[in-house]
Structure 1
Amino acid sequence: MPKTLTPYDWYASLLRSESPLFSDLDSRIPEDNLWQSGKENGVLVLTGHKLIGTETLKLLPATYRERLHKYTLNAAATELGREHELQRALSLFTDVGIPYLLMKGTPLAYTHYPQPYLRSRCDTDILLENNVDAEKAFKLLEAHGYQRPNAVSGEFISHEFCCHKTDKLGIDHTIDIHWKLNNAQRFARTCNFTELAASSIQITELGEKVRALGPAHALLLACMHRIAHKRDGMENRLIWLYDIHLLTERFSNEQWNQFITQTTAKEMCGICLDGIQQTVMTFNTRIPDNVTSQLKEGANHEKFSPEIGKSRLRMEISNLRALPGWKERAGFIKESFFPDANYMMAKYKTEKKHLLPYLYLKRAIAGIYKILR
């Protein structure tokens, strides 16, 4: 194993079940930087679990070991509180007949990790069939103490909203309600609810009727999710790549065939190839040769490249092109630059409506700057 590992590489090595030592790190890296890297990559508790009984753990600084021990205990205790609250929230939807599917980190925590608390996450993502059901769901959550932070809304600019509460024990609970698979227009219509529900799986730990995306769709979403983070350089966050690693390690030939069929039909081969190849580089993940070759072949015929995600301008152009007509494109532009007046006044903490033209101009200038930089 090479010396002078970066914190990122050190944690990746632990997740590969190797035995990197603290001394393998660049000696100029402060201990706090190592800790912060593990936290930003969402793998502190997971790598702590991997360290149990290893020589690496014994040779870590005592301060790091103690800090990790306390952090892990807190994560496990918090998970218990969040699980109980989530079970209650989901039962609200079930009782009134609102269909839903769990997606992203929470279901994977139960299906692919030794214990749910080992899969760090700050929220639970729930997909509903449409925005009407989403509003019904919020009313149910609101009656049980959840609040909805101020956020942009509209037919085109957003397909989700956040619900948050802090319980009596001080535990934060955040539920993200979605009615499309992704906020980006390029991906929003990739799969509809009926299609996703048809191949969904049961998560019995959270309730008899609780279901989540099936493996093929979960992998598609995991790869898709990375693209939105290419602009901020976080697309290779270790916990997201490890999700892909764990998903693919369990795939049967039938599931691979299903995955290839859907990614080809939806022109998502390039995006999925990008995520899978990065996972292979990071964790030595075993992927069948025919899968890689078929994804490469499919990617050659697609207009969208994963590299587009690095440019906000190119991504926004892609979103506009994904809309069916000029009416919808005009609506997207309007919602982007001129969101609801109530949102603007709340965002800028004012009740003076005569300031709205100035606030819209300020938003437009800031938005154009973000797109062009």
Structure 2
Amino acid sequence: MKYKKINSLIFNLTLGRIDEAESIVKSAEREGMPIDWEALVDLAAYHGVASIIYKNIKDIKPRFVDNSFLSEIESYYYGIAGKNTNYFAEMDKILLTLNDSGVDTILLKGAALGETVYNNIALRPIEDIDLLVKRFDFPAAKAAFKRWGYDVHEKIFPSRIHKEIEMERHKPFEKYESELHFFDKKNRFFFDIHWNLLIVCESGIAEAIQLNMDKIWQRIKEISTGEAYAYTMSDEDNLIYLCLHLRERHFEKARSRLIWWYDVYMLLKQSLNTLDCAYFLNTVSEYGAEKSVFSIIKTVKTLFGIELPKEIDDAIGDDIETFELNKLIPEPTDQIKYQRVFVERDYLAEIKNIKGITKKIRILIGDIFPDSRYMVSYYRIENKALLPLYYLIRFKNVLIKGLKAANQLIKNNQ
């Protein structure tokens, strides 16, 4: 019950519903469960809406809002403003190089929305920037990042044999690869460069949905990003992409952040009177994505209180699933298991499935004495002088793991 009040409070503050927010705070106080404002700061930051809440209350400074909360989200607001300013300056620098190389570039997700929907660089947090280029332009795009000192993020394996095995396993999934990740040498900026938009479906409506890249490129809109220029998708294509990405890539894995729902709300709100409903509905149908896209839009309509164009509202109908607020803003503990954690694959446990004694020996040696880059990455070694010590620790751990595996194998054969 206490968390239900907190997520309802953060939702109403995000939408600027001050009276409803005050009612929640007073209700919590009457029930002897006052709002934990410190926890609310953390939740607002996690869900990417701290800056939006600050914008909504900074001038009126409601009496029911704790002063420490206002102070903390003010810090987030200016922190995001500074970070995004640096990010957009870096993006502009790279876009200029891409412009000079004749590479057309579409901004995706946060970068596109920050430029065209939010109209305030401090409101939409950006962790990385996603750019879309045409497939034949990708080598030139890669060269542009290399020119500015960026490296390609590559998965590091314990040894060459481990990489060979993983590549063999990964062959059936190669068709889903459509992006590379770039980072600068100081790990300040991260860019994901896409040359295709293929949404792997977690909801079961399809194995994957391939967006129509020709149609997307035909309907792009040019924008200025400073000295450079770039493009965004049309509002219709962008809305479909945001809904699919939210439902299939995040929501179905129980990963949900309020800012992603707010993105859809803001785009809908901005484009209500200009949306090409016929194109939107035909494209959703072409993708076979009604269940995914319509459920997101109907939930936004229901919870955010936005009126949809009649043509879209009629097409969605009454039978499409909608989600409750606790699904949009789940308890943080429900999402911990979905955080990105480097989990090492247990190759020793699978060694019996590897054919050939030579391969098995190479895997064993590679597991005990992996590549130094792998050791630094896996154990997060900051002082490389300690590397020999970590090799000794790893040798001990692998030995124990090997003995346990051998013991289990003996038991299974008895």
TM-score, normalised with respect to structure 2: 0.65
Q: Shift in Å at residue 176 of structure 1? A: 0.7
Q: Whole-Å Cα distance in 2 between the matches of residues 271 and 71 of structure 1?
A: 33
Instruction: Report the equivalent of 1:100.
Output: 105
Q: Shift in Å at residue 65 of structure 1? A: 2.0
Instruction: Report the equivalent of 2:134.
Output: 129
Given candidates 257, 262, 265, the residue that maps to 1:242 is 262
Given candidates 18, 23, 28, the residue that maps to 2:25 is 23
Given candidates 262, 284, 302, the residue that maps to 1:281 is 302
Q: Shift in Å at residue 199 of structure 1? A: 0.9
Could you say if the C-alpha distance between residues 78 and 25 of structure 1 is closer, same or farther in structure 2, counting changes exceeding 3 Å? Answer: farther
Check conservation: 2:243, 2:293, Cα contact below 8 A: yes
Give the AA of the match of 2:223.
I
Q: Whole-Å Cα distance in 2 between the matches of residues 139 and 175 of structure 1?
A: 14
Instruction: Report the equivalent of 2:43.
Output: 37
Which has the larger Rg? 2
The answer to whether the aligner puts 1:84 opposite 2:89 as a matched pair is: yes
Given candidates 214, 219, 229, the residue that maps to 1:199 is 219
Q: Shift in Å at residue 146 of structure 1? A: 1.6
Q: Whole-Å Cα distance in 2 between the matches of residues 30 and 3 of structure 1?
A: 9
Q: Whole-Å Cα distance in 1 between the matches of residues 14 and 276 of structure 2?
A: 25
Give the AA of the match of 1:165.
D
Q: Shift in Å at residue 5 of structure 1? A: 5.2
The answer to whether the aligner puts 1:255 opposite 2:276 as a matched pair is: yes
Instruction: Report the equivalent of 2:383.
Output: none
SS in 2 for 1:176: strand
Instruction: Report the equivalent of 2:232.
Output: 212
Check conservation: 2:223, 2:230, Cα contact below 8 A: yes
Q: Whole-Å Cα distance in 2 between the matches of residues 11 and 234 of structure 1?
A: 17
The answer to whether the aligner puts 1:13 opposite 2:12 as a matched pair is: yes
Given candidates 117, 122, 129, the residue that maps to 2:122 is 117
Per-residue CA shift, 1:177-209, capped at 9, x if unaligned? 1111135274452221x3212111122134553
What is the total number of aligned residue pairs between the two structures?
Answer: 304
Quick one: percent identity of the two aligned structures? 17
Q: Which runs of 5+ in 1 are unaligned?
A: 301-340, 353-357, 359-373
Q: Structure 1 residue runs of 4+, over 6 Å off?
A: 297-300
SS in 2 for 1:116: coil
Q: Whole-Å Cα distance in 2 between the matches of residues 35 and 25 of structure 1?
A: 20
Q: Whole-Å Cα distance in 1 between the matches of residues 312 and 266 of structure 2?
A: 16
The answer to whether the aligner puts 1:290 opposite 2:289 as a matched pair is: no
Q: Shift in Å at residue 266 of structure 1? A: 1.9
Q: Shift in Å at residue 113 of structure 1? A: 0.9
Q: Shift in Å at residue 166 of structure 1? A: 6.0
Per-residue CA shift, 1:278-304, capped at 9, x if unaligned? 21232112113431331349989xxxx
Could you say if the C-alpha distance between residues 271 and 127 of structure 1 is closer, same or farther in structure 2, counting changes exceeding 3 Å? Answer: same
Give the AA of the match of 1:216.
E
Q: Whole-Å Cα distance in 1 between the matches of residues 94 and 243 of structure 2?
A: 28
Per-residue CA shift, 1:197-241, capped at 9, x if unaligned? 211112213455311111001100110011211243224x21111
SS in 1 for 2:175: coil
Q: Which moved more, 1:120-129 or 1:69-78?
A: 69-78
SS in 2 for 1:59: coil
Instruction: Report the equivalent of 2:192.
Output: 176
The answer to whether the aligner puts 1:149 opposite 2:170 as a matched pair is: no
Per-residue CA shift, 1:311-360, capped at 9, x if unaligned? xxxxxxxxxxxxxxxxxxxxxxxxxxxxxx9xx9666769x9xxxxx9xx
Check conservation: 1:107, 1:203, Cα contact below 8 A: no
SS in 1 for 2:216: helix
SS in 2 for 1:230: helix
The answer to whether the aligner puts 1:266 opposite 2:268 as a matched pair is: no
Give the AA of the match of 1:141.
F
TM-score, normalised with respect to structure 1: 0.72
Q: Whole-Å Cα distance in 2 between the matches of residues 119 and 102 of structure 1?
A: 14
Give the AA of the match of 1:7.
I
Could you say if the C-alpha distance between residues 243 and 25 of structure 1 is closer, same or farther in structure 2, counting changes exceeding 3 Å? Answer: farther
Check conservation: 2:99, 2:228, Cα contact below 8 A: no
SS in 1 for 2:177: coil
Could you say if the C-alpha distance between residues 172 and 260 of structure 1 is closer, same or farther in structure 2, counting changes exceeding 3 Å? Answer: same
Q: Which moved more, 1:31-40 or 1:216-225?
A: 31-40
Instruction: Report the equivalent of 1:319.
Output: none
Q: Shift in Å at residue 245 of structure 1? A: 1.0
Instruction: Report the equivalent of 2:245.
Output: 225
Q: Whole-Å Cα distance in 2 between the matches of residues 189 and 3 of structure 1?
A: 42
Could you say if the C-alpha distance between residues 118 and 64 of structure 1 is closer, same or farther in structure 2, counting changes exceeding 3 Å? Answer: same
The answer to whether the aligner puts 1:158 opposite 2:177 as a matched pair is: yes
Q: Whole-Å Cα distance in 1 between the matches of residues 219 and 92 of structure 2?
A: 22
Instruction: Report the equivalent of 1:68.
Output: 73
SS in 1 for 2:151: coil
SS in 1 for 2:211: coil
